[in-house]
């Protein structure tokens, strides 16, 4: 029993001077192994709270660097939080830097976290996500799934109508669902370092996107819908296989930074000179001859733009 009290102290940072606890941080213990050692997960987690019933569990839950292989612990924890009514909602969940390989579709780990707005499962080893994972996360505003081994994304990601920041970079994604175009609140979208050779046309509906990173993929045809992203100010297309750019790229009136390094470009649309706010253009590692380089420099006679060949 003394050992359990000690664990409780570590998990909740018990102090007589602490009245309210704004963040539940289990960063120094392997919460999953502790829970598994208990005969009953729910009873064990309830025991933790009962030992310090005056403590307040706030709106941030950090379970990063716990060597978690599943989300069984967080599911039990969610039930406990609701039962004890220590907080109305958990808005931020950090599950980054673990060893989560899969998520059981039947377990519904986020069922009790329907008010969550920020979720990170970055730096794990996820290969796929269950189709129903987003059913209980309709209020998400920020989702970080970077640095996993994902091959695809569930179609129901399109149901996240409040999502503003989405990071899918550093995975092995080969294709995106058409429903990605339903994320109309999206502002930042990171897709770098995947295996995408094409993109769904529906992405042209993401008219609020300001930052779009498509670098280090296998894109090999012009992105025709690119000109519809009217609020775009940062675009990274480095390290792809693009042979040309769409004419409508000139409609990106707010674009300030454009990375096109290491593609297969041999010319640019003449209308690109209409990008009046463009201040940085990287064209290095392409197939421009001297004549084309001179022509491109002529598009931007003023020194406001830095062009790299």
Residues 179-223 pLDDT 10s: 999 999 999 999 999 999 999 999 999 999 999 999 999 999 999
More confident residue, 3 or 93: 93
Domain 150-308 classification at class level: alpha beta
Residue 256: per-residue pLDDT: 96
Residue 148: per-residue pLDDT: 98
For 281-300, the pLDDT digits (tens) are 999 999 999 999 999 888 88
Which stretch of 40-49, 76-85, 162-171 has the lowest confidence by average pLDDT? 40-49
Percent of the chain having pLDDT more than 70?
Answer: 75
**Contact call for residues 305 and 278 (beta carbons, < 8 A):** yes
Residue 306: per-residue pLDDT: 80
Residue 19: per-residue pLDDT: 30
For the segment 268-287, the average pLDDT, to the nearest whole number, is 93
More confident residue, 147 or 104: 147
Please, which pLDDT band fits residue 82 given cuts at 50, 70 and 90?
low
Please, which pLDDT band fits residue 1 given cuts at 50, 70 and 90?
very low
- CA gap 127, 134 in Å, rounded: 16
Residue 104: per-residue pLDDT: 85
For 100-124, the pLDDT digits (tens) are 999 988 878 888 788 899 999 999 9
The interaxial angle of helices 41-51 and 72-84, nearest 10 deg, is 50
Structure-block tokens of residue 33: 């192994």
Q: What is the mean pLDDT of the chain?
A: 82
Residue 224: per-residue pLDDT: 93
Q: What is the CA radius of gyration of the chain?
A: 24
Which stretch of 23-27, 201-205, 229-233 has the lowest confidence by average pLDDT? 23-27
Model pTM above 0.85 = no
For the segment 240-263, the average pLDDT, to the nearest whole number, is 95
For the segment 35-53, the average pLDDT, to the nearest whole number, is 44
The interaxial angle of helices 41-51 and 2-12, nearest 10 deg, is 70
Confidence check: pLDDT of 250 > 60: yes
- Residue 213 has, within 13 A of its CA and on its CB side, a CA count of 15
**Contact call for residues 109 and 74 (beta carbons, < 8 A):** yes
Residue 164: per-residue pLDDT: 98
Residue 212: per-residue pLDDT: 98
Please, which pLDDT band fits residue 38 given cuts at 50, 70 and 90?
very low
SS (HEC) of the chain: CHHHHHHHHHHHCCCCCCCCEEEEECCCCCHHHHHHHCCCHHHHHHHHHHHCCCCCEEEEEECCCCCCCCCHHHHHHHHHHHHHCCCCCCCEEECCCCCCCCCCCCCCCCCCCCCCCEEECCCCCCCCCCCCCCCCCCCCCEEECCCCCCCCCCHHHHHCCCCCEEECCCCCCCCCCHHHHHCCCCCEEECCCCCCCCCCHHHHHCCCCCEEECCCCCCCCCCHHHHHCCCCCEEECCCCCCCCCCHHHHHCCCCCEEECCCCCCCCCCHHHHHCCCCCEEECCCCCCCHHHHHHHHHHCCCCCCEEEC
Residue 15: per-residue pLDDT: 33
């Amino acid at each position: 029993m003394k050992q359990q009290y000690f664990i409780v102290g570590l998990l909740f940072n018990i102090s007589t001077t602490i009245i309210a606890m704004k963040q539940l941080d289990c960063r120094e213990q392997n919460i999953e192994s502790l829970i598994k050692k208990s005969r009953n997960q729910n009873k064990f987690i309830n025991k933790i709270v009962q030992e310090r019933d005056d403590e307040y569990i706030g709106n941030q839950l950090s379970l990063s660097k716990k060597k978690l292989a599943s989300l069984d612990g967080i599911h039990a924890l969610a039930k406990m939080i609701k039962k004890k009514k220590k907080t109305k909602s958990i808005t931020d969940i950090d599950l980054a830097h673990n060893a989560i390989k899969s998520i059981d579709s039947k377990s519904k780990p986020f069922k009790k976290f329907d008010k969550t707005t920020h979720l990170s499962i970055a730096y794990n080893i996820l290969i796929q996500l269950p189709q129903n994972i987003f059913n209980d996360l309709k209020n998400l505003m920020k989702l970080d799934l970077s640095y996993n081994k994902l091959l695809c994304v569930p179609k129901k990601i399109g149901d996240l109508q409040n999502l503003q920041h989405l990071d899918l970079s550093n995975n092995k994604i080969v294709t995106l669902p058409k429903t990605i175009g339903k994320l109309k609140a999206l502002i930042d979208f990171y897709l770098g370092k995947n295996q995408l050779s094409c993109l769904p046309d529906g992405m042209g509906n993401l008219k609020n996107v300001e930052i779009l990173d498509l670098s280090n993929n296998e894109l090999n045809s012009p992105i025709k819908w690119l000109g519809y992203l009217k609020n775009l100010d940062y675009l990274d297309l480095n390290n792809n296989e693009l042979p040309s750019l769409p004419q409508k790229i000139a409609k990106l009136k707010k674009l300030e930074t454009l990375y096109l390094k290491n593609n297969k470009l041999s010319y640019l649309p003449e209308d690109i000179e209409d990008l009046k706010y463009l201040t940085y253009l990287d064209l290095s590692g392409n197939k421009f001859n001297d004549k084309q380089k001179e022509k491109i420099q002529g598009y931007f006679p003023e020194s406001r733009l830095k062009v790299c060949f």
